[in-house]
Chain A
Amino acid sequence: MTHSAQVVILADHSALLAIPAFAPAILVVAVVIWVARRDRRLADEEDEEDATHSGPSAAADHDGTP
């Protein structure tokens, strides 16, 4: 029993060791890609709304920049 547990440790050791480094990196990249895609989709939708309503809410800056 102990033996099989030890086998797992050695077989996986560098992958396990690497998790602390690469997992957050992949997480961050995934989130940024998701944010960028969502923003592009929202921008497209707003553009469509502008085209149909031609209202004042353009897709210009509204990020609260002082």
Chain B
Amino acid sequence: MTVQSLQPNVSYLAQGTEGGGAALNEVIGLSVASVVVGAALLWIGYQHRMRKITWLHDLGEWAGRKFNRPSWVALPIALFITTIITALFGFIWDVSLHIGKGRDPGPLANPAHYFILFGLFILFVAGCLACVLPYDKPGPSAVRITRHWYAPVGGILMAGCGLYALIGFPLDDVWHRIFGQDVTLWGPTHLMLIGGAGFSTLTALFLEHEGRRAVGEDKPKDGPGIKFIQYLAFGGIVIGLSVYQIEFDFGVMQFRQVFEPMLIAAAGAFALVSARIMLGRGAAIVAAILALALRGLVALIVGPVLGAPINWFALYLGAAVVVELIGLTPLVKKPLLFGLVGGIGVATVGLWLESFWIDAVYRYPWPTSIWPEALAMAVPVAALVGVCGAMVGMVLTNQKLPSRAIGIGIVALSVIAIGGATANGLRYDVPQNATASFTLTPAPSIGDQKMATADIRINPPDLISADPNWVSILGWQGGLANQRGIFVDHLEKVGPGHYRSTAPMPVSGQWKTLLRVHDGRMLTAVPIYLHGDPGIGAAEVPAEAQMTRPFVSEITILQRERNPDTPQVLWLIGCLTVLVGTLIMIGGLTWGAGRLNKNEPTTSKAEFEPSGQA
């Protein structure tokens, strides 16, 4: 099946590029280099631990003096900040390239992949560095590796998140071999890649906490630089947990819109509640501002500078204001309750404030009709996730967590709530026997692109309610040179079941242009123009002056590459594998937080014998 589906792809590729063989050599060269790099890293680690080299120790100590933290915190965190921003840039650029151009045309053809791969690998290296650097036991929570080697919890978790994300790459290939090159962010293996990197932001805070505890209370007060890094860390968590929303940010979401408020509420509740508890008044707002500064900078580089499709991002300022206001009440003295109320506030008032921004700049604003289901999904999730954020805040401020059973219970409940809300969000209906009749009127061409406006009659005319999520025309993958490869037009309603374009749509070249309808549970589309794609054996769907076409499931158009013949059971096994991996990661982070909290804070510099309380 794979060969069959790829054979035409190759002839297609051969027209465009000649360099397949050279690229293969390049990859082999890279792989050889990587084994050398891996061996070199192991060698350096071994030499350092055997105290045969001093430069790594000296470098760590130098960084430690600069940041007023132990070497095993300062150096890895510096590396982490650099690498996670690199990976973020690569990720956003990669998504924008796929939206503007479609699937990757061949090996190493997508420059954004280098940033992601490099970023995730260095993320793993940063975690390992935190584990390798300390000669003495790094704080009371450290984990015994050998009798003379203890590693900080944050370092182990950081390396674990990096490894989890990296394993996503080979699994991603297996996935695409079985299921075809589905172009969606929410493929299970893609979720591993972005989830591992997203949650790693939390491990950096754990590591920083261990370092702060190790230097003790007697050390000089943290300067503005350290404070900035701490605020930045929470901004990082805001961004890290927002990675699941990226399709919505580009306006090419392939899932029901009701996910968007839930994801924003969950990320906001967790990050901003924990920021407020750890860093005090104003922290939630500063974290939100740093997050939007970073996302804004990346969006600026990817969009206007590199010419890829424009992406927006949730502001989280409304959520931050809500958390700050609740933080002014006595509730803040009871962190768990603060998290619960904060989460509910974020999922209600916070989302309402966010909706003004979404409606102002996003390609797909929120209709009034979204709110009942959006609140039903967002409030329970954000309330529970807010409590989880509060528990992280408690760990980071040395407050004793509730009992183990309660703590784990809250995390488990949050996972169940997210799972339930997700299961509901993934349910959608495709109308049976509904059609759309198009009358296309040619419009002036843009370059060699044919353009057209449409007059559309939906049959039955009452298919779409008065306040649908969207009735729009989407064109994408049209090539970066053609309006960045993306086109969105919200149709004007003329009468019952009667709509028309407000701007000419592209109906030639590499575009995939379709009519999208999302109305509550209904998520469906009608193809208008789909370019011929010999790579996947798909014929062109031409745009005709007069045509009547049935409504179909969106993914049959948006993910034409998807292989429809795969048995359902394989899909289930794939999803379950990734689910287990994700649960292990969440379990690991929960274990780490519990372990950090279990050991009482120390007031002196950690100089523990390797024996004792591992």
Do B34 and A61 touch (CB < 8 A)? no
| Chain A 1-25 near chain B by CB (<8 Å), digits 1 or 0 | 0110111111111111111111111
Please provide the chain B residues from 43 to 58 with a CB less than 8 Å away from any CB of chain A in the complex.
45, 51
Judged by DSSP, the binding face of B is helix
CB of A54 within 8 Å of the partner chain: no
Instruction: Determine the residue in chain A with the shortest Cβ distance to B23.
Output: A9
Do B42 and A9 touch (CB < 8 A)? no
Residues of A within 8 A of B9 (CB): 10
A43 vs B146: C-alpha distance when bound (angstroms):
9
Do B20 and A64 touch (CB < 8 A)? no
A36 vs B131: C-alpha distance when bound (angstroms):
13
Residues of B within 8 A of A51 (CB): none
In the complex, what's the smallest C-beta–C-beta distance from A7 to chain B, in angstroms? 5
Smallest CB-CB A-B distances: 4 pairs: A24-B38, A18-B169, A39-B146, A20-B34
Chain B interface residue count, Cβ-Cβ cutoff 8 angstroms: 60
CB of B598 within 8 Å of the partner chain: no
Please provide the chain B residues from 65 to 79 with a CB less than 8 Å away from any CB of chain A in the complex.
none
What are 22 A-B contacts defined by CB distance under 8 Å?
A3-B11, A5-B21, A6-B13, A7-B3, A7-B7, A9-B24, A10-B6, A10-B107, A17-B169, A19-B30, A19-B34, A20-B30, A20-B34, A21-B120, A21-B169, A24-B34, A24-B35, A24-B39, A35-B146, A61-B147, A63-B147, A63-B148
Do B107 and A9 touch (CB < 8 A)? yes
Do B145 and A23 touch (CB < 8 A)? no
A60 vs B147: C-alpha distance when bound (angstroms):
8
Q: By CB atoms of chain B within 10 A, which of A22, A40, A64 has the most?
A: A22
Residues of A within 8 A of B30 (CB): 19-20
In the complex, what's the smallest C-beta–C-beta distance from B560 to chain A, in angstroms? 17
Do B117 and A28 touch (CB < 8 A)? no
Beyond A36-B146, A64-B51, whether A21 also contacts B166 by CB under 8 A is: yes
In the complex, what's the smallest C-beta–C-beta distance from A3 to chain B, in angstroms? 6
Beyond A18-B166, A61-B610, whether A11 also contacts B145 by CB under 8 A is: no
In the complex, what's the smallest C-beta–C-beta distance from B419 to chain A, in angstroms? 28
A interface vs B, CB < 8 Å? 2-3, 5-29, 31-32, 35-36, 39-40, 43, 59-61, 63-65
A43 vs B304: C-alpha distance when bound (angstroms):
60
Instruction: Determine the residue in chain A with the shortest Cβ distance to B14.
Output: A6
| Chain B 477-496 near chain A by CB (<8 Å), digits 1 or 0 | 00000000000000000000
Do B121 and A24 touch (CB < 8 A)? yes
Partner of B41, one of A6, A26, A28, A43: A28
Residues of B within 8 A of A11 (CB): 2-3, 6, 177
A9 vs B17: C-alpha distance when bound (angstroms):
13
Residues of A within 8 A of B170 (CB): 15, 18, 22
Please provide the chain B residues from 203 to 235 with a CB less than 8 Å away from any CB of chain A in the complex.
none
Do A61 and B609 touch (CB < 8 A)? yes
Do B31 and A7 touch (CB < 8 A)? no
CB of B135 within 8 Å of the partner chain: yes
A3 vs B170: C-alpha distance when bound (angstroms):
24
A21 vs B162: C-alpha distance when bound (angstroms):
10
Beyond A9-B20, A31-B42, whether A61 also contacts B148 by CB under 8 A is: yes
